[in-house]
A and B are shown apart, each in its own frame.
Chain A
Amino acid sequence: MGNLFEHMGIERDRIHFSWISSAEATKFVDVVKEISDKVRALGPNKKLVKDYN
């Protein structure tokens, strides 16, 4: 999946897959932080966005 989107111009760090059990709140928070940091580093997404004009 990641590769396909990369091919389309979406950075790899914009798509995340993870498996978290319902007891792993700490892991959940860690993953959110990790994704958030990575995406903030990339900045807003410009690709594929529907053009309203």
Chain B
Amino acid sequence: MEFERILSATGPTMGHVTTFPQLPINPKKKKDKLLAEKRKDPKKIAWFQCVGSRDINKCDNPYCSSVCCMYAVKEAIIAKEHAGGDLDCSIFYMDMRTPGKEFEKFYQNAKDKHGVNFIRSRVHSVTENPQTHDLNIRYVDELGQIVHDTYDMIVLSVGLEISNETKELSHKLGIDLTPNGFCKTDSFEPVSSSRDGIYVSGVFNNPKDIPESVLDASAAASAAGDALSAARNTLTKAIEKIPEINVIGERPRIGAFICDCGSNINGVVDCPDVTEYAKTLPYVEFADEAMYACSQDAQAKMVEYIKEKNLNRIVIAACTPKTHEPLFQETLANAGLNKYLFEMTNIRNHNSWVHKNNPEIATQKAKDLVRMAVAKAALAEPLKEEKITVNDSILIIGGGLAGMTSAKSLATQGYKTHIVEKKDKLGGEAHKLYRTAQGEDVQSKLNELIKEIESNDNIIVHNNTTLESVDGFVGNFKSTLKNNDKEFELEYGVAVLATGAKAFVPDEYKYGKDSRIITSLDLDKMFKTNDVDLDRVNSAVFIQCVGSRQPDRPYCSRVCCTHSIDNAIELKERKPDMDIFILYRDIRTYGERELLYKKARELGVIFIRYDVDKKPQVRIDNSQLFIRVNDHVLNKPIEIEADLLTLAVALVPRKDETLANFFKVPLNDEGFFVEKHAKLGPAEFATDGVFVCGSGHYPKPVNEAITQGRASASRALTLLAKKDSLFTSGTVASVDPLKCSQCGVCVSICPYSAPLFLTEGRFEGKADVNAVLCKGCGLCVASCRSGALHLRGFDTNQIFSQIYAMSEVV
């Protein structure tokens, strides 16, 4: 965390990597003098992983903190970027755990493209060289040899732990915790605590990264919403609407408000001078300075001025419209003005804050900016926002765990939900699982859920059904579905894509050549049926990363390490003297799954690491099965005779390009759906009204699939709940049909397919822009050869007026 601050542009050294960045330095103080002497730009930085995690000697945290590997890799890359190419960055680790979406590629890039060193080792000690102040470290490498090295700076990748306050609070609330202080949750209700009505999210519910925390939060909202569905809309109040004054045809009467922002602007820019100047500009009827224009009383005053002076356009010179435009627009609406009769110019972020040493120039620039804004505002016109009607039924594609969970939540909250499943029954891949990482039986819970879904009046299940077409947009989708040659149509407002993933069919390790060579799911099946063949097994081998983390499939499948370890434990429990070997590359038992890894080792499961370029060899000789692998401790090849070889195969996405095209959503190189935002929008697409959950987004275990199912429902609900107040933006493109030459450039250039040719009416054949689909980018406007297209709010004449105003020197 301290290193993150050093890297930050707003940190103590403004992003410059240095040792001892603390400020201020007082040369008279002995301590500071020593610091200044020691301070230097490091040439070699080391990261130590698993500090305070996966450790019961120095601390009591046997779990993995999940996030530290990734943040260390990220910090090393940024440090190298900031300090230039010759900075030596080394990460000392036990297992590199990058099982998140796109994380594995990031790790490989750090190694191959950025030249970060990864040293699998255990660090013994650190000592400071009293002369040079360098840090000497001693570590044991993988072969057990002691190595000495010297670094300028060491970053400890500290783990996460639950604070005592949180533990006390949990005790007061009466919710159960795990021995490590995390909230105890069920894999099938992953955000519900042991007490009804209390939900959990984030790291308290096991260590996790940002996207999983965001999913948790959305899922908790869905769980809370389910419980409160009966009380929905009982406490809402209607907002009174103020009728809009018609200003069309009126001469512009502009009110300009200059914000001091306390001293943020006024401390640099001469605001009274700018206000006086604003009064001299054409069409400006009134100008005023405000201490904080965004404050409630300033807003109330603004409404009064608008009414009193009969203003019909407003210019605000303050901070950024990206955060404050909606606030001022509301003020306009309260005064009865159309909210687009407004222009904001940024004299803080773009001016006072960045030119604080040049008050005169900054004041001049502020004047220029105000003049440009006034010129544009004079041409502002009232714009209409189209109301979007929302069909409040939902289509869920895929009837697996994630899809069913999403459906259950949406149906509970009163929405009609359709599930389309191409197979003949619900449940998907979960039918093949034996138990979860927490030891719950999957089949009984799954069948319970299927029964609930099938008996829910709000859910209509379409088995054996495929999607044939999709038309429309958010709130108004229309699809043709096909069930055994029978076609039917369905209208719905939002869609959830829960198509899942499937197990990869391996083409190596002699899979399919011998009945003793199976996949993890085959082994689950043997457990479920208590297969008698299991009794004959005395030696079992697991090979990890089959089809994952290699050039043709560079991602980590996330679930397989835990799956194999859990299966190894099951085998050991059934037959304690069985020899079990797990051949792995990195064990990725993130979070409290680490405890399973620990348990497996305690039970005597043997873990042997292999490199991707030295994969294990499988040999069948005289109907005996041998696996040859290089032992990482002995550094010698060994051969194991096995009765059972389980391949932990990759999870591969369905890569349904047709479906992706139907909803205009992107797939990544491997075929997983690409969400709206990797961190902050993990259950939705950039396309409005389309949501994602389950392993189609990225491979995930039962509890995470259910969390994302709930999260997608929660995100869909926020849209459906706004049913009566969903409007398009007013700043969209429109066509002047009299000028349109029907050339079709706008139709072909638009990334959102908003412009189309009219097929009927007076202007048949001319282009027309669908305001709901239009994002207001203006691409079509710039491309129109006839000048028929206009972008409301950013029209050509408005931009020209700003350019002209720039040059006017008054």
- A and B are interacting partners: yes
- The interface of chain A, by Cβ under 8 A from chain B, is 25-26, 29
Q: What is the CA–CA distance of A25 and B9 in the complex, to the nearest angstrom?
A: 9
4 contacts between A and B (CB under 8 A): A25-B9, A26-B9, A26-B15, A29-B354
A23 to chain B, nearest CB (A): 10
Fill in one digit per residue for B1-45: 1 if any A CB lies within 8 Å of its CB, else 0: 000000001000001000000000000000000000000000000
Interface size class of B (residues with CB under 8 A): under 10
User: What residue of chain B has the Cβ atom nearest to residue A29's Cβ?
Assistant: B354
Q: What is the CA–CA distance of A25 and B15 in the complex, to the nearest angstrom?
A: 12
A52 to chain B, nearest CB (A): 10
Q: What is the CA–CA distance of A25 and B353 in the complex, to the nearest angstrom?
A: 13
Q: What is the CA–CA distance of A26 and B354 in the complex, to the nearest angstrom?
A: 12
Chain B positions within 8 Å of A29 at CB level: 354
User: What residue of chain B has the Cβ atom nearest to residue A52's Cβ?
Assistant: B807
Q: What is the CA–CA distance of A29 and B15 in the complex, to the nearest angstrom?
A: 14
User: What residue of chain B has the Cβ atom nearest to residue A32's Cβ?
Assistant: B354
Chain B positions within 8 Å of A26 at CB level: 9, 15
Q: What is the CA–CA distance of A17 and B354 in the complex, to the nearest angstrom?
A: 22
Chain A positions within 8 Å of B354 at CB level: 29
Chain B positions within 8 Å of A25 at CB level: 9
Q: What is the CA–CA distance of A25 and B354 in the complex, to the nearest angstrom?
A: 12
User: What residue of chain A has the Cβ atom nearest to residue B82's Cβ?
Assistant: A26
User: What residue of chain A has the Cβ atom nearest to residue B14's Cβ?
Assistant: A26
Chain A positions within 8 Å of B9 at CB level: 25-26
Q: What is the CA–CA distance of A26 and B15 in the complex, to the nearest angstrom?
A: 10
Chain A positions within 8 Å of B15 at CB level: 26
User: What residue of chain B has the Cβ atom nearest to residue A26's Cβ?
Assistant: B9
B90 to chain A, nearest CB (A): 26
Q: What is the CA–CA distance of A29 and B354 in the complex, to the nearest angstrom?
A: 10
B529 to chain A, nearest CB (A): 53
A1 to chain B, nearest CB (A): 13
A-B CB proximity, top 4 nearest: A26-B9, A25-B9, A26-B15, A29-B354
A42 to chain B, nearest CB (A): 18
Q: What is the CA–CA distance of A26 and B9 in the complex, to the nearest angstrom?
A: 8
Q: What is the CA–CA distance of A22 and B354 in the complex, to the nearest angstrom?
A: 17
Q: What is the CA–CA distance of A52 and B90 in the complex, to the nearest angstrom?
A: 64
Q: What is the CA–CA distance of A26 and B11 in the complex, to the nearest angstrom?
A: 13
User: What residue of chain A has the Cβ atom nearest to residue B322's Cβ?
Assistant: A22
User: What residue of chain B has the Cβ atom nearest to residue A50's Cβ?
Assistant: B807
Q: What is the CA–CA distance of A26 and B10 in the complex, to the nearest angstrom?
A: 11
A5 to chain B, nearest CB (A): 16
B679 to chain A, nearest CB (A): 12
Q: For chain B, residues 199 to 238, give those with C-beta under 8 angstroms from any C-beta of chain A.
A: none
Q: What is the CA–CA distance of A34 and B418 in the complex, to the nearest angstrom?
A: 57
A39 to chain B, nearest CB (A): 15
B413 to chain A, nearest CB (A): 34
Q: What is the CA–CA distance of A26 and B78 in the complex, to the nearest angstrom?
A: 13
Q: What is the CA–CA distance of A26 and B8 in the complex, to the nearest angstrom?
A: 11
Fill in one digit per residue for B135-170: 1 if any A CB lies within 8 Å of its CB, else 0: 000000000000000000000000000000000000
Q: What is the CA–CA distance of A26 and B81 in the complex, to the nearest angstrom?
A: 13
Fill in one digit per residue for B660-687: 1 if any A CB lies within 8 Å of its CB, else 0: 0000000000000000000000000000
Fill in one digit per residue for B347-381: 1 if any A CB lies within 8 Å of its CB, else 0: 00000001000000000000000000000000000
A15 to chain B, nearest CB (A): 15
Fill in one digit per residue for B327-358: 1 if any A CB lies within 8 Å of its CB, else 0: 00000000000000000000000000010000
A13 to chain B, nearest CB (A): 20
Q: What is the CA–CA distance of A25 and B10 in the complex, to the nearest angstrom?
A: 11
Q: What is the CA–CA distance of A29 and B9 in the complex, to the nearest angstrom?
A: 12
User: What residue of chain A has the Cβ atom nearest to residue B10's Cβ?
Assistant: A25
Q: What is the CA–CA distance of A17 and B9 in the complex, to the nearest angstrom?
A: 24
Q: What is the CA–CA distance of A29 and B14 in the complex, to the nearest angstrom?
A: 13
Q: What is the CA–CA distance of A44 and B15 in the complex, to the nearest angstrom?
A: 35
Q: What is the CA–CA distance of A29 and B10 in the complex, to the nearest angstrom?
A: 14
B804 to chain A, nearest CB (A): 10
Q: What is the CA–CA distance of A7 and B296 in the complex, to the nearest angstrom?
A: 55
Q: What is the CA–CA distance of A21 and B704 in the complex, to the nearest angstrom?
A: 31
A20 to chain B, nearest CB (A): 14
Q: What is the CA–CA distance of A30 and B354 in the complex, to the nearest angstrom?
A: 13
Fill in one digit per residue for B75-110: 1 if any A CB lies within 8 Å of its CB, else 0: 000000000000000000000000000000000000
User: What residue of chain B has the Cβ atom nearest to residue A25's Cβ?
Assistant: B9
A35 to chain B, nearest CB (A): 15
A49 to chain B, nearest CB (A): 9
User: What residue of chain A has the Cβ atom nearest to residue B349's Cβ?
Assistant: A25
Fill in one digit per residue for B724-736: 1 if any A CB lies within 8 Å of its CB, else 0: 0000000000000
User: What residue of chain B has the Cβ atom nearest to residue A22's Cβ?
Assistant: B322
A21 to chain B, nearest CB (A): 13
Q: For chain B, residues 514 to 544, give those with C-beta under 8 angstroms from any C-beta of chain A.
A: none
User: What residue of chain A has the Cβ atom nearest to residue B15's Cβ?
Assistant: A26
B803 to chain A, nearest CB (A): 11
Q: What is the CA–CA distance of A47 and B9 in the complex, to the nearest angstrom?
A: 39
B676 to chain A, nearest CB (A): 15
User: What residue of chain A has the Cβ atom nearest to residue B807's Cβ?
Assistant: A50
